[in-house]
Structures are given as C-alpha cells and as structure tokens.
Structure 1
C-alpha cells in the first residue's frame, strides 16, 4: 500500500461489488425458497407487490391495497348500505373494492379482505361484567350493533357460561361472542362475511384477537393478517366449523 492509501481505494469498489452480488444472490435464493411473499406486502393487480398497505381486498381486477382507515370506511359503508341505512362517502375508494365487499367472490361467498395483525401489548386483564362479557367485549358488541343493528348473539350470559364450548374457549371468561347466520345458505354466508370483514378492518380499534367463520380463521397474531383454513375438531359438524356463525373474541390483556 502507498503512503497515501491509493491501493486501498482501488480495492474498495471490488469489495462493494462483491457484497452487492452476495446480497442479490441471497435475496434471489430466499424468493426461490419461500416464494414471492417473502418480500412482504399485498400484491397489486399487475402481480407486483404493493408496499406499505395495511389491508388488501381481492377484487375481480386483482388485489387492491388499502390503509386501515379506508378498510374501516369501506366495510362500514357496505354494511350500512346492506341495511338500507345512509352510508358515509366512499368516493375515494376503488369501486371494485366496494362491489367485492358487498357481493363477495363471483358464485361463492368467501374471504375477500384481510388486514395485517397489530395487537396492543399494554392491555389490562378484565373481569366479567353483569352482561357476562368483559368491558372490551362489551365495547365490541356495542360497536357491532351500531353498524349492523340487532343481531342473533350467543356464547355469553349474565354470570358467565361454563359449558358448551371447548376447554380453552374464550367464551368462559367473557371474551368471546358468536353471531349467528342461520340456516347455512349462500345469502347468510354473504351476510356473515360482511361482518367478518368489518371485524378484521376494525380489529385494531376493538382489540379483536380472532375471527372465525365459514371454515376460515383470522388472527391478530399473524403479522401478514391473511385468512387461514380453520381446522375444526369435527369436520362433519357445521357448528364447530363455524358455518352458521361468526365467532369473534378480544384480547385477554395482562402479563404475557
């Protein structure tokens, strides 16, 4: 090396190029191994990933990214319109999004919207109130009623419930609510998905933990927030598969 370090400067571009090639090679390997989803973020209609979108709606024109405020507005407007109630202005939202949320996938009701999970970490654990729900769950029920009107509800009772659910059910500590859409028909499935989508869009505000419906489950603990297949303990039982009701529960709070 010369006294002024000339040789060292000549080598730096080669080291930088080598580092860049190694980085690109590692990224390409990850994409091949894990698929394009490793890059994160919902895809746009052209198949490329959309960066930064909190929510995504699968439309007939491809996937459309929304921020959480847009997702809340869209799901609320669609739910109110379905009831014949005046809905808020949605002129800034893609019409294809509203159509899909209102009608569901062509020929078959199903999941069309999902949002990334974001669970609050500083919640206090709560006890049952006189309704059989914790204050958080009661707040959730009131919010649903304001948008969807009176619904057929279950899974809680004054004094709490102590049977009829799995051993670890959130119904026993007043955190779970079932909203029934009976009998199991295509129209009732579509109505159930209106509510399920609304719950996911509002999960951050209402401290929602899980939404289960129609053989699918959404969890706030999933960073990507996509719907997953629900593994029912008895595949032949439409109640355990949550075909006739939406289950929603709120976070417990407290340590851990």
Structure 2
C-alpha cells in the first residue's frame, strides 16, 4: 500500500480559522481594556493650544509615591494649606490624600523644597497692559490682591508708584510692572517652608492669574513648560541670596499682546 503525503494546500482548511480567531480575541481584549479604562483616559487626555496632553495637570511627590491632582484639587489643597498656616478657616479637603496636604505644608523629610508640579499653559490671547497708579499692570495687581485674600499682609517689593527703572536685571519684568517680590527674611527653614507654601499656591493658580514665572530658593517654574516641573535657577554672579531668590518669591505675569 502506498502512502501519499498531503500537499501543503490540503492543511489550509484546518488552520485557516485560527488566525481570524486569534485576531478577534486580541481586538476584544483591547476593546475591553479601553472600556474599563475610558473614564481614567478621558480625565487624563486634554487639548491645549493645539497640543495633546496625557497625564494629570498637577501632581505631588509624597513618601508613598506620586499623587495625581486635577487643577481644581491643586488649587483647593494649596489654599487650604495657606489658610491653615495662618490659623484661618480652611475649605473641605476630605477628598484629598492627607499625605498630599502634609507634603505641601511641610515639605519632605529631607527638605522643604517643592513637592507640587503643575503644567504650564500660558495663554497667548491676553492683551498688553499699561501700569496702574500702583506701579503694577492690572494683571499683576490682581495677583497681589488674590495673594492678600489668602495669605494676608505680605512684605512686598519690586514695584512702586510710577514704576521702577533700576535695581533689577536688564530684562526684568519689574520694569514693566509685571513682577512682584514677596520677602521671607531671613533665610531660615521656617521661612523657606512659608515661601514654598506661597510658591506652590501660585503655580496651582497660574492659569487663573496669567502667571508666567515663579522663582524661589534656587528653583524656577515656567508657564511655558508643558510638564510644569521646577527647574534649577541659574542666578547671575555674584550669586548671593537675593539673586538666588532664597529670601523672596518672585512672581510675574504674562506681558500680553503680540509675541
């Protein structure tokens, strides 16, 4: 009896169903994962100025890891910390991890430096403004008023009625009435902690207040940085405390008008 092996084509009817079946299983798994994750994905994907952003708008590094926050949560948390520091009534923050609040209020066990990151989304449609009698533009004056509402009376500088024309670098926003300095002197751990409470409140509210830069304690935050991380601030020589912004928080607002 002779034996004739089957030709390759003879095997195809038995195997042809496998590839479509595997493909359908993979598609089903992907669709199921998307359905399950869709609320999370929807909350993490945003469009701004034609750019796609994936991830939380703000986050805080705690001893337990990274806690993601919406912009509203970051504003609520930083405001509560600021009010608590001056013994004022605080808003309800029961929905925010207590480790986040502790990090914002006290810093990390190793340092009182920044724990909050918030993405910058500098608006490009704000009008250019002139000085008001205070020596600040209306936008900068609004920042001053909002700080006072939360932090009370603060020792301020960097502006004067009629404007300032010296005492700062050549490109300083103080000369156009867009910059404010908030002093925390002398340089102590307690004053550094208070300065960081203000600095983090400012970046959480940066979108509302059209804030462009916040500088404090050798660090700088920029609204033009889409990830919103604090970067090292390179102070000009001689790098004394005031030039390193170790004894004051600098905040300025967008110029506005054509870029």
TM-score (norm. length: structure 1):
0.80
Would you say the 8 A contact 1:178–1:247 is kept in 2? yes
Q: Residue in 2 aligned with 1:208?
A: 211
Indicate whether 1:103 and 2:106 are aligned. yes
Q: 1:107 Cα shift?
A: 3.6
Indicate whether 1:170 and 2:166 are aligned. no
Instruction: Measure, in 1, the Cα distance between the counterparts of 2:198 and 2:76.
Output: 13
Q: 1:232 Cα shift?
A: 0.3
Q: Secondary structure at the match of 1:171?
A: helix
Q: Residue in 2 aligned with 1:121?
A: 124
1:43-58 alignment, distance < 5 Å? 52-58=55-61
Deviations 1:201-252 (A, max 9, x none): 0000000000000000000000011000000002531100000000000000
Would you say the 8 A contact 1:57–1:65 is kept in 2? yes
Instruction: Measure, in 2, the Cα distance between the counterparts of 1:235 and 1:226.
Output: 26
TM-score (norm. length: structure 2):
0.79
Q: Flag as ranges the 4+ runs of structure 1 deviating above 2 A.
A: none
Instruction: Measure, in 1, the Cα distance between the counterparts of 2:85 and 2:240.
Output: 29
Indicate whether 1:84 and 2:80 are aligned. no
Indicate whether 1:188 and 2:178 are aligned. no
Deviations 1:146-169 (A, max 9, x none): 000000000000000000000010
Would you say the 8 A contact 1:234–1:241 is kept in 2? no
Would you say the 8 A contact 1:55–1:67 is kept in 2? yes
Q: Secondary structure at the match of 1:217?
A: strand
Which of 139, 147, 151 aligns to 1:148? It is: 151
Deviations 1:34-93 (A, max 9, x none): xxxxxxx8xxxxxxxxx5310010111111100000000000000000000000000000
Q: Residue in 2 aligned with 1:135?
A: 138
Instruction: Measure, in 2, the Cα distance between the counterparts of 1:130 and 1:105.
Output: 41
Task: Provide the aligned length of Structure 1 versus Structure 2.
Answer: 211
Would you say the 8 A contact 1:203–1:220 is kept in 2? yes
Q: Which runs of 5 or more structure 1 residues have no equivalent in the other structure?
A: 1-9, 18-40, 42-50
Instruction: Measure, in 2, the Cα distance between the counterparts of 1:252 and 1:126.
Output: 7
Q: Secondary structure at the match of 1:172?
A: helix
1:233-248 alignment, distance < 5 Å? 233-234=236-237, 236-248=239-251
Structure showing greater Rg: 2
Would you say the 8 A contact 1:209–1:221 is kept in 2? yes
Q: Secondary structure at the match of 2:212?
A: strand
Q: Secondary structure at the match of 2:120?
A: coil
Instruction: Measure, in 2, the Cα distance between the counterparts of 1:167 and 1:235.
Output: 16
Q: Which runs of 5 or more structure 2 residues have no equivalent in the other structure?
A: 1-15, 24-43, 45-53
Which of 190, 201, 207 aligns to 1:198? It is: 201
Instruction: Measure, in 1, the Cα distance between the counterparts of 2:117 and 2:254.
Output: 19
